[in-house]
């Protein structure tokens, strides 16, 4: 088995009625999780995998996690129906301004901007999730999408005497 076999398996819909995962998505379990192995009926559609006993779902598909439909692969020889730029801006506190980020995104040709003022420590960012959901929906409908973020600040730190740098 090669590293690209999962792409060949996912090229078509899963024929199992209990799964029915669309092309481009991994198989799913009855409990709504990403299956650990592709269903036999699906991977046997790939000629060189017909005699294989099982085909594991690769780690990139996060087996065991909650299943979500992924964008369908583009049909060979087709061009995207269009192109959309979606933007995301975030400030850590209510005192910080988003104006610079919003202006920068508009000048970059972004047509839809999601923004929020939320702590860096927050694990749930609703506006970012909305931007990603819209991105997935547009991609699934054949539209090319670019998600634009003004600046991604990544501040490294080192522990010295209990402090951060």
Count: domains in the chain: 2
Tell me, what's the pLDDT at 77? 59
Tell me, what's the pLDDT at 124? 87
User: Using CA atoms, how far apart are residues 71 and 129, in angstroms rounded to an integer?
Assistant: 16
Mean pLDDT of 29-46: 92
Cβ–Cβ under 8 Å, residues 19 and 39: yes
User: Using CA atoms, how far apart are residues 56 and 38, in angstroms rounded to an integer?
Assistant: 6
Domain ranges, residue 118: 83-149
Same domain for 88 and 145? Answer: yes
At 155, the pLDDT band (50, 70, 90 cuts) reads very low
Same domain for 59 and 21? Answer: yes
Same domain for 36 and 64? Answer: yes
Can you give the pTM of this predicted structure?
A: 0.48
pLDDT in tens, 91-114: 888 788 888 889 989 988 888 899
User: Using CA atoms, how far apart are residues 80 and 69, in angstroms rounded to an integer?
Assistant: 20
């Amino acid at each position: 088995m090669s590293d690209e076999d999962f792409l060949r398996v996912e090229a078509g819909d899963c024929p199992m009625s209990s799964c029915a995962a669309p092309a481009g998505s991994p198989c799913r379990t009855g409990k709504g999780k990403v299956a650990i192995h592709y269903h036999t009926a699906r991977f046997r559609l790939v000629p060189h995998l017909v005699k294989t006993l099982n085909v594991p779902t690769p780690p990139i598909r996060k087996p065991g996690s909650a299943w979500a439909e992924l964008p369908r692969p583009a049909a060979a020889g087709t061009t995207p129906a269009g192109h959309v730029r979606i933007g995301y801006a975030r400030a850590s506190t209510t005192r910080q301004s988003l104006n610079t980020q919003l202006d920068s995104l508009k000048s970059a040709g972004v047509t839809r901007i999601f923004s929020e003022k939320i702590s860096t420590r927050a694990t749930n960012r609703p506006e970012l999730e909305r931007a990603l959901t819209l991105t997935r929906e547009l991609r699934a409908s054949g539209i090319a999408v670019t998600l634009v973020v003004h600046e991604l600040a990544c501040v490294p730190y080192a522990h010295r005497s209990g402090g951060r740098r």
